[in-house]
Amino acid sequence: MNRSLRRFALAASCMLFASQLMAEPKRPECIAPASPGGGFDLTCKLAQSALINEKLLTKPMRVTYMPGGVGAVAYNAVVAQRPADAGTLVAWSSGSLLNLAQGKFGRFDETNVRWLAAVGTSYGAIAVKSDSPYKTLDDLVKALKEDPSKVVIGSGGTVGSQDWMQTALIAKAAGINPRDLRYVALEGGGEIATALLGGHIQVGSTDISDSMPHIQSGDMRLLAVFAEKRLDEPEMKDIPTAKEQGYDIVWPVVRGFYLGPKVSDEDYAWWKDAFDKLLASEDFAKLRDQRELFPFAMTGPELDTYVKKQVADYKVLAKEFGLIQ
């Protein structure tokens, strides 16, 4: 009898192991819905490194790029063309949710994908070249009040995007019409940094994680970070917040992943379990910290609820700025 039980237990464990292997995607891929070098790229590469380091994937996950509409092209492609592809993760950020709130992803809305995981958060920031005449937010606001057409601001996306919203909130607080600001629409943090360092724009509305490599190289400065208080990281502690300069603006930039709408419950559960293990790992925390991201861990139904509430809140904000009816 004992021998039979042992055989049954062995067979059951083998079947469980086999099912786990079957659930692992054969060709894992992370789509960064922008050009290389920005926050979406950073998000995908964080997962790429961490999933292998933690042995949650046996095959490396490749990172591909699908720029366009700050996430719209990738969103539409996955929902319409690859809805059941369990191996395809797509990076998203708070900016993606803001665009969804305004209907910028076409006929699809926040209910059309399976929200999987949020893995960290950054904060919005206002960047200038290291030799910029603007030393503080007040310097920038003064120049904008004198002649907004002379200050070229680069942002990820067009009017209504997350980066646009950051400077629009500053303008509103200073009594400037946000519509008078002069914007250049770019595709993510990588292009913003390139344009700023190349002298094509004077100001970059971006986020702190995208900016830190250029801050540390001495090529760029941040006039402000949109956090509640100064950040504790040694390389960030001297960056002033907008709040301490008299502008009561806080803008976290949450980053994570979604899957196509027809990915099976089994495959979704495999990914959720993988990210739950990842987010509990100290090694993952170190990798996240290296990419200048701060803790924000959420998966599954909890994340789905969070996303839908954020989109609803962003709709209210968009209406305040006349971006939607």
Strands (DSSP E) found in the chain: 29-32, 62-65, 88-93, 114-129, 152-156, 182-186, 203-207, 220-225, 252-259, 298-299
CA 119 to chain centre: 9
Question: H/E element holding 306?
Answer: helix 300-320
Which residues does 156 contact at the CB level (< 8 Å), separation at least 6? 34, 38, 70, 95, 162, 163, 185, 186, 187, 188, 189, 191, 192, 205, 206
Which residues does 320 contact at the CB level (< 8 Å), separation at least 6? none
- Give the chain's largest Cα–Cα span: 89
Which residues does 152 contact at the CB level (< 8 Å), separation at least 6? 182, 183, 184, 200, 201, 202, 203
pLDDT value of residue 6 = 55
pLDDT value of residue 111 = 97
Classify residue 320 by burial, with Cβ atoms within 10 Å: 0-12, 13-18, 19+. exposed
Q: List, by residue range, all CATH 3.40.190.150 domains of the chain.
A: 27-121+253-320
pLDDT value of residue 37 = 84
Give the residue from 168, 129, 67, 103 showing the smallest Cα distance to 315: 103
> How far is Cα 164 from Cα 170, in angstroms, rounded to an integer?
10
- What are residue 203's DSSP bridge partners? 153
How many residues belong to the chain?
Answer: 325
* The token pair that represents 235 in the structure block: 């390389």
Per-residue pLDDT of the chain (325 residues; tens, 9 = 90+): 455 545 544 544 444 444 444 579 999 999 999 989 888 999 999 999 999 999 999 999 999 999 988 799 999 999 999 999 999 999 999 999 999 999 999 999 999 999 999 999 999 999 999 999 999 999 999 999 999 999 999 998 788 989 999 999 999 999 999 999 999 998 778 889 999 999 999 999 998 988 888 999 999 999 999 999 999 888 899 999 999 999 999 999 999 999 999 999 999 999 999 999 999 999 999 999 998 899 999 999 999 999 999 999 999 999 999 999 8
The Cα angle at residue 74 between residues 71 and 80, in degrees rounded to 5: 130
pLDDT value of residue 210 = 82
> How far is Cα 260 from Cα 80, in angstroms, rounded to an integer?
9
> How far is Cα 52 from Cα 87, in angstroms, rounded to an integer?
15
Cβ density class 25-60: b for 16+ within 10 Å, e for less: beebbbbbbbbebbbbbbbbbbbbbbbeebebbeee
First-last CA distance in the chain? 72
Which residues does 104 contact at the CB level (< 8 Å), separation at least 6? 69, 70, 72, 160
276 close to 299: Cβ distance less than 8 angstroms: yes
* The token pair that represents 261 in the structure block: 């709408």
Superfamily in which the 27-121+253-320 domain is placed by CATH: Bordetella uptake gene, domain 1 (3.40.190.150)
Superfamily in which the 123-251 domain is placed by CATH: Periplasmic binding protein-like II (3.40.190.10)
Give the residue from 188, 187, 193, 190 showing the smallest Cα distance to 219: 193
Model pTM score? 0.83
* The token pair that represents 167 in the structure block: 């400077």
- DSSP state letters, 178-196: GGGSEEEEESSHHHHHHHH
Q: List, by residue range, all CATH 3.40.190.10 domains of the chain.
A: 123-251
